[in-house]
Amino acid sequence: MMVLVVGVLAIVFGIALSISVGAANIHLSTVWEAIVHYNSNQTEHAIIRDLRLPRALADVLVGASFAVAGAIMQGMTRNPLADAGLLGLNAGSALMVAVCFAFLPGLSYNSLILFSFLGAAVAAGLVYGISSLARGGLTPVRLVLAGAAVSALLTALSEGIAIHFQLSQELAFWYAGGVAGVKWSQLKVMTPWLVIALVGALLLSRSITLLSLGDEVATGLGQKTVLVKMVGTIIVLLLAGVSVSAVGPIGFVGLVVPHFARFFVGVDYRWIIPCSAVIGGGFMIIADIGARMINPPYETPIGVLFALIGVPFFLYVSRKGRREIS
């Protein structure tokens, strides 16, 4: 409980700080004034209300979504390296977004979310299918290797489409990941999808805890493992697909954050999932603030920062758990 309380307070402070810093630094008192007494004639109020507030809220929502998606995948597969980015879901969503930009440029954002979701689903099907074809069946190591191969293929296809249709500049920053372009219109569309998926993850948390003990144990305790995995997969696809359509294929959030949550609250997913959501939201805000402060007034792609943290952490986890996942 303490982790949740401290995390929520940190998120509130992070939102205020995120709104106040940037190319134009704004005092926190002005931020409060713009929220409670908005004046459209003041430039600072317009910056806060139209640009920085939706960006900060998108940080929290997307960070929570990526983190919870990673937590669910790690619980269902019993794989400490499971993550929407590593298992190809982000690359699948990114490919479909690139296809929409090239062939359906006037597509509504609702439709873009649907195509992004379908792209994540196709990538998941490819990864699980390839992993299952190998002798010995599906294992955590084969899942990660298949995810890496499928991610490389889909990313190459996305870049090929971008180059052929001269979308490289339009998609370059989006591929690197960032919330700078999120507006209220996007936030209004993506929020219901992500909130529904996050609530679904909370309702499924007890079943994920049982699955993390192994299929045989979960079945012996009366768990319908196939149904739980199907629902869990749909929730993960929603969380990853919608988030990627908004901010790009940001990786490693879902890998790193659940490990921190488990460190604080143990192995019960009734606590891991809400704590992952809170830590993920705060983690995303901190990274976004850092992306703006490294080389002002220019922005460093947020995906680069997560890669700098995530790659060493991936190597650490894979080395630490090499016996358990082989």
Residue bearing the bigger pLDDT, 217 or 318: 217
Question: What pLDDT score does 325 carry?
Answer: 43
pLDDT tens profile 115-164: 888 888 899 889 888 887 766 666 667 777 888 889 889 988 988 888 88
What does the pLDDT average to over 12-39?
82
pLDDT tens profile 83-111: 887 778 888 888 998 898 888 888 888 88
Residue bearing the bigger pLDDT, 60 or 109: 60
At 152, give phi and psi (nearest 5°): -60, -45
Please report which helix (H) or strand (E) contains residue 180, including its range. Answer: none
Percent of the chain with pLDDT over 90: 23
Q: Compute the C-alpha angle 122/258/62, nearest 5°.
A: 60
Q: Which two tokens stand for residue 192?
A: 């219901």
Cα–Cα distance for residue pair 145/140, rounded to 1 Å: 9
What does the pLDDT average to over 34-38?
80
**How far is residue 314 from each of residues 177, 196, 248, 253, measured CA to CA in Å?**
19, 29, 20, 11
Question: What pLDDT score does 315 carry?
Answer: 78
Question: What pLDDT score does 173 carry?
Answer: 63
Q: Which two tokens stand for residue 324?
A: 């358990």
Q: Which two tokens stand for residue 283?
A: 């983690």
Q: Which two tokens stand for residue 102?
A: 């090239």
DSSP secondary structure letter of residue 290: H
Q: pLDDT class for 39, splitting at 50, 70, 90?
A: confident
pTM of the model: 0.87
**How far is residue 242 from each of residues 66, 94, 226, 253, measured CA to CA in Å?**
10, 11, 24, 15
Question: Which amino acid, one-letter code, is at 296?
Answer: P
Q: Does 282 have pLDDT greater than 90?
A: yes
Question: What pLDDT score does 172 carry?
Answer: 66
CB 283, CB 257: distance < 8 Å? yes
Q: Does 193 have pLDDT greater than 70?
A: yes
Question: What pLDDT score does 280 carry?
Answer: 94
Q: What is the mean pLDDT of the chain?
A: 84
Residue bearing the bigger pLDDT, 264 or 305: 264
Question: What pLDDT score does 71 carry?
Answer: 94
CB 251, CB 303: distance < 8 Å? yes
pLDDT tens profile 168-178: 666 666 666 67
Cα–Cα distance for residue pair 241/73, rounded to 1 Å: 14
Look at phi and psi of residue 231 and say left if phi exceeds 0, alpha if psi is from -120 to 50, else beta.
alpha
CB 30, CB 59: distance < 8 Å? no
